[in-house]
């Protein structure tokens, strides 16, 4: 029999872009779907990294102390202490950031981190003022859209668009229309950006930091694909952290999405707040990821692997996929966001008949899964035709999947434009 849900229940059980993404992905990865999967966010299978993780698991299984630390003991609510201390040391040595383990909290994946951070700042405050999270450059990560406890707690700004050569373009931060006022609780950007592969420049980040400092609000930087690891960045981009910045990392894009380990680098009061929240929600976070990865942090090997193994793997795939997409779509009104990082191509189909949601359904019937762009414009108040003309394509899968998927996509896109 149907039961009546609370407002919370109604909000968090309705369809979402995040569920659509993960449902398609899980079916494809489990072998229960024949779809050519260009829509998910699963990292690629990098042979060198897989060998390394297998070796680590063998070593852990042979060492009772490590095995117990990984599986038999609760960690601190802020996460496994030895790992946090090692990571603080690496960030001090690499960037000169004045950090200790008290500046680092682990979470049950990055999605959990953003659920806690967004709701820590946004919503109705003790002063009865309602404040929101600002996404200063949209499109942005689909997972931000539904994590707030209240409705309409995200607000977003259109980007500046610069046309480039060879069918590429780039989004930029439109500072003239940034609009940080007393109704903004925090600003959040991903760098590199999921879905577009955009990397805000160092100059843009400096200006954004200054605007947040002036407004006395935190700047949340989602660095899941960035440096120091996994360093899937194909352009110059200096990681930055200082008082007032909340810098988020992940172990997923190293090739460990199943361990669900998010990392938050922040001022000590923020870390303590996250630990308090984790104690209520989870008691503790898992230690599987930290125990597997810590020796790579201690030795610094994680930096070398990111530079020489992970980044080149994805960069080569990005160039091949972009070249194939340009060739297959030649003659159509399209543009590709310049791939500067992460592992997605963001395709803009100008004047797309019926929009990207309809094209997503058509492509799925044809045998290829992508993500429609509609899901990535959360918080944008005004209607914008561009938001219904874009698709996100992953190039992390095997080359034959990418090639077959892009050819199928191009065939269907040509049919849509021709009215077939």
Strands (E), 14-150: 36-37, 104-107, 123-124, 130-135
Tally of CB atoms within 10 A around 40: 23
Q: Give the burial class of 417: count Cβ atoms within 10 A of its Cβ; 0-12 exposed, 13-18 middle, 19 or more buried.
A: middle
Over residues 54-96, the pLDDT tens digits come to: 999 999 999 999 999 999 999 999 999 999 999 999 999 999 9
Eight-state DSSP code of residue 260:
-
**Mean pLDDT in the chain?**
94
**CA 46, CA 256: separation in Å to the nearest integer?**
11
Tokens 């024949």, residue? 34
Give the confidence band of 27 by pLDDT, cuts at 50, 70, 90.
low
Chain centre distance of CA 17: 14
Instruction: Specify the pLDDT at position 209.
Output: 96
- Give the domains, in start order, of the chain with CATH numbers: 7-49+305-418 (3.90.1150.10), 74-299 (3.40.640.10)
Instruction: Specify the pLDDT at position 239.
Output: 96
Nearest to 316 by CA among 44, 36, 29, 37: 44
Instruction: Specify the pLDDT at position 403.
Output: 97
**CA 180, CA 187: separation in Å to the nearest integer?**
9
Instruction: Specify the pLDDT at position 300.
Output: 96
Over residues 144-158, the pLDDT tens digits come to: 998 999 889 999 999
Cis peptide leading into residue 228 (ω within 30°): yes
Instruction: Specify the pLDDT at position 23.
Output: 67
Cis peptide leading into residue 230 (ω within 30°): yes
Cis peptide leading into residue 339 (ω within 30°): no
Instruction: Specify the pLDDT at position 126.
Output: 87
* CB-based contacts of 292, cutoff 8 Å, min separation 6: 53, 56, 57, 60, 70, 256, 259
């Amino acid at each position: 029999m149907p039961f009546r849900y609370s407002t919370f229940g109604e909000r968090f059980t309705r369809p979402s872009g995040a569920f659509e993404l993960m449902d398609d992905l899980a079916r494809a990865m489990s072998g229960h779907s024949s779809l050519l999967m260009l829509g998910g966010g699963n990292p690629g299978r990098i042979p060198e990294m897989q060998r390394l993780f297998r070796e680590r698991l063998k070593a852990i299984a042979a060492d009772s102390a490590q095995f117990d630390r990984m599986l038999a003991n609760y960690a601190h609510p802020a996460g496994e202490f030895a790992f946090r201390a090692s990571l603080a040391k690496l960030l001090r040595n690499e960037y000169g950031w004045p950090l200790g383990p008290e500046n680092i909290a682990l979470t049950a994946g990055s999605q959990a981190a953003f659920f806690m951070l967004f709701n820590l700042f946004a919503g109705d405050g003790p002063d009865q003022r309602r404040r929101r999270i600002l996404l200063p450059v949209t499109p942005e990560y689909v997972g931000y859209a539904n994590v707030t406890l209240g409705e309409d707690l995200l607000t977003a700004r259109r980007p500046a668009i610069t046309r480039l050569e060879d069918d590429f373009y780039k989004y930029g931060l439109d500072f003239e229309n940034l609009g940080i006022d007393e109704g903004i609780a925090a600003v959040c950007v991903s760098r590199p950006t999921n879905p577009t592969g955009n990397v805000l420049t160092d100059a843009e980040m400096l200006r954004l930091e200054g605007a947040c400092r002036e407004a006395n609000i935190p700047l949340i930087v989602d660095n899941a694909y960035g440096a120091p690891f996994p360093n899937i960045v194909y352009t110059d981009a200096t990681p930055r952290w200082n008082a007032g910045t909340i810098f988020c990392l992940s172990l997923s894009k190293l090739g460990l999405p199943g361990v669900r380990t998010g990392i938050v680098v922040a001022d000590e009061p923020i870390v303590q707040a996250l630990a308090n929240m984790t104690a209520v929600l989870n008691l503790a976070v898992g230690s599987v990821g930290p125990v597997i990865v810590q020796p790579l942090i201690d030795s610094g090997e994680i930096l070398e692997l990111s530079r020489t193994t992970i980044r080149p793997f994805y960069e080569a795939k990005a160039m091949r996929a972009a070249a194939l997409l340009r060739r297959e779509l030649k003659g159509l009104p399209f543009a590709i966001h310049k791939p500067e990082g992460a592992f997605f191509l963001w395709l803009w189909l100008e004047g797309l008949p019926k929009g990207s949601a309809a094209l997503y359904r058509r492509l799925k019937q044809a045998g290829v899964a992508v993500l429609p762009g509609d899901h990535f414009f959360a918080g944008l108040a005004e209607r914008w035709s561009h938001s219904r003309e874009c698709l996100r394509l992953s190039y992390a899968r095997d080359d034959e999947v990418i090639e077959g998927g892009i050819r199928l996509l191009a065939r269907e896109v040509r049919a849509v434009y021709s009215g077939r």
